Chain A
Amino acid sequence: MSELTHLTIAAALDGLAAKKFSARELTEAHLAAMAKHKNLNAYITETPEIALKQADASDQRRAGGKAGALEGIPLGIKDLFCTEGVLTTAGSHILDGFRPTYESTVTRNLFDAGAVMLGKLNLDEFAMGSSNKTSYYGNVINPWKRRGDETDLVPGGSSGGSSAAVAARIAMAATGTDTGGSIRQPAALTGTVGIKPTYGRCSRWGIVAFASSLDQAGPIARSVEDCAIMLGAMSGHDPKDSTSVEMPVPDFRKALTGDIRGLKVGIPKEYRVDGMSQEIDALWARGAEWLKAQGAELREISLPHTKYALPTYYIIAPAEASSNLARYDGVRFGLRVPGNSLDEMYELTRAAGFGKEVKRRIMIGTYVLSAGYYDAYYLQAQRIRALILRDFTDAFKDVDVILTPSTPSAAFGFNENEGDPVQMYLQDVFTVTVNLAGLPGISVPAGLDANGLPLGLQLIGRAFDEETLLRSAQVLERAANFTALPAGV
C-alpha cells in the first residue's frame, strides 16, 4: 500500500471520506514505511501501538459521522512537544526517561482534530541547530542525495526529523518549531513545505522552550494546502499561554483561491548576500517572475537592518535559552548525576546532560546577560530587534508579501560547515529576521540545484495574515511544479 504514503493530506482525507481505505490502513502503510527507512533515524520514539489505537478510534468516529479536520491522518511529532505518557527528549540526554504527565496544547489540538501519532521525531538538541547534528539521539539523514553521490546529507534543522520524515513519506506531515528558521530551513533542504505562523498564533504551552520570544510551532507537509489544513488544526487561542493571541482562526484552506492578481510582492535587496550562489539568485528571480506571471506586482524594497539580524538573534536566543534551560537541574525530572553537594550535582548533571552546542549557547546567553555586559549586548540587541521590526512594518506599507530565498545553499554533508560555529549559524540568514519580527514565513520547494538537490523560496507575510501568505505560496508552488522525489522513496 505504499501509494498511500504518497498521498497528500487533502487527498487522504478525500480517500478516507470516500471509504477507499481506513485510517488503520493508512497508518499501517506508514508504519511499514517507517520500518523500511529506519536508516534515516528520523524518529527517536516510534509509537505504533498508540498510532493503531488512535487510527481505530478515528475509523469509529468517522463511521459515526464525526470526522475532524485531520481525521485519521498519521503525523510525526517533533520531540520538542510534550506528549502525555510518551518519552519526550528534546533531543537531549538531560531529559532521559522523561514522560510528561501532560499533553502540549498543539498536539492536543491535533489529536482533537482526529490526527494519529506515528512517533516522536528527532531534532537538534533543544532545537538548537540547522543540521540535526546536535541531537543526543544521532544524526538524521536527509533522504535526498546529490546525483551520483552517496554521501549522506543533513536534513536541515532543528526540525530535521520532521523534514526527513515528511520527505521520505514516513509521515504525512509533521509538527515543527521555528525559532530562527527551524521549520523553513529543513523544509527547504528536503523539498517540503514548512510554515512558521505569526508569533502568538499557536500555543507554546507544553513545547519545550528554547527562546520564548521567538519560538513558534508550525507544520511541515508536502503541499501548501496540507500546511493550511495542519496550521488550522494546530492554531488557536490558549489561555494557558500569555503570549497566545485571542483571535479567531481563519479557514486557511479557503484562502487558497489561486488568485494573486494585484498582489504586491516585495523583493528585498539586502537579501542578495555575499557568497550567495548563482543558482539561488536565479531561482529567486524565477520565483519573482512566476508570481508576476500570475498577476502580482513586483517591487524592490529595502530592509536595511537585515545584516544585523543573525548576530542579534545570537544574543537574544541564547540569553533566553540560558534561562529557559536552567530548569534542567536533575531535581524534578530527567538525568541526575550524583554529586557531593547541590552545586556539584547541578554542574555534573548539566555537563553530562547537555551537548556541545547547547552548552555553547547557554554560555553565550549567560555571558551577555551578566553584570556589565547586559547593556552592551542584550539591550543593544533588543533595540536592533526593534529596528528590524520597523524595517518590516515600513516595507509592508507598500507590499503584501516579501519573496526571498529560504536558505543560502542546498543540503550539505555532515562534515561540511564544521569547525566554525558561525558558518553553521549563517544557514538561518534568510529566515531569522522573520522570527525577530514575529511574522509568518513559509518555505516552498521551488526547484533543484545542479546536483539534484531541492531548493526553497521563502515568502514572508504581515502579522496574522497567513491567508495571503498561504495563497501566494500556493501560486508559487503551482508554478514551480516541484514533483521530484528523493531516491528510494
Chain B
Amino acid sequence: MSLDSKTVAHIATLARIRVPESDLPGLAQELTGIMAWIEQLNEVDTKGVQPMSGVLARDLPRRADVVNDGGNPDKVLANAPEPAHGFFTVPKVIE
C-alpha cells in the first residue's frame, strides 16, 4: 500500500492537523514505510476468527440513574482558553 501526498493531505484534514504542502511527500513516504511493514498481517489466515476489541469477557457495568455530577460550571470552564459568560467559545461557525 503506497500512500501519496493527496491521501496524506486527506488524512490530515480528517485528523484536523495542518500539514504544510512541502511536508506531504516526506510524510507520505514515512507512512508508506510503516504501512508496508504492517502489510505482513495479510499473510495471516483469520477466516472464522471473531474480531476482538477488548480483552474483558464481562458484562458492561451499569450505573443507577441518579444525578451526582455537574452543577459546577467553574470547574468545567476552569481550563478553557477563552470562556465568555459561562460558555466555551470558538471562531464563529456558519452552518
To the question of whether A and B form a pair in one complex, the answer is yes
Does A345 lie within 8 Å of B90, measured CB to CB? yes
Bound Cα distance A354, B80 (Å): 18
Within 8 A of B (CB), among A431-448: 437-438
| CB within 8 Å for A367 and B31 given contacts A377-B38, A383-B46, A383-B49 | yes
Q: Are B11 and A438 in contact (CB under 8 A)?
A: no
Taking a contact as CB atoms closer than 8 A, the residue among B19, B41, B88, B93 that contacts A311 in the complex is B41
- Number of residues on chain B facing chain A (CB within 8 A): 48
A239 at the interface (CB under 8 A from B): yes
Contact present for A331 and B53 (CB under 8 Å): no
Count contacts on A: residues with CB < 8 A to the other chain.
69
Instruction: Please tell me if B84 contacts chain A, counting CB pairs below 8 Å.
Output: no
Question: What is the total of A-B residue contacts with beta carbons within 8 Å?
Answer: 158
A97-B79, A213-B53 known; A363+B44 contact, CB < 8 A: no
Instruction: Annotate A374-393 by CB proximity to B: 1 below 8 A, 0 otherwise.
Output: 00110111111111010000
Secondary structure at chain A's binding surface: helix, strand, loop or mixed? helix
Contact A311 B52 (CB under 8 A): no
Residues of A within 8 A of B44 (CB): 305, 308, 380, 383-384, 387
A370 and B14: CB pair below 8 A?
yes
Say yes or no for B86: interface residue by CB 8 A criterion.
no
- Cβ of B52 and Cβ of A389 under 8 Å apart? yes
Contact in complex: B55, A362 (CB < 8 Å):
no
10 pairs, A vs B, C-beta closer than 8 Å = A199-B55, A245-B56, A315-B41, A332-B79, A350-B17, A351-B17, A366-B11, A385-B52, A422-B37, A437-B55
Could you list which residues of chain B lie within 8 angstroms of chain A, going by C-beta atoms? 3, 7-8, 11-19, 27, 30-31, 33-35, 37-38, 40-42, 44, 46, 49-56, 58, 60-61, 63, 75-76, 78-82, 88, 90-91, 93
Q: A345-B90, A363-B17 are in contact. List 17 more A-B contacts (CB 8 A).
A: A200-B56, A213-B53, A213-B55, A239-B63, A338-B91, A342-B91, A345-B91, A346-B16, A360-B34, A363-B15, A364-B35, A376-B42, A380-B42, A381-B41, A382-B53, A384-B46, A386-B49
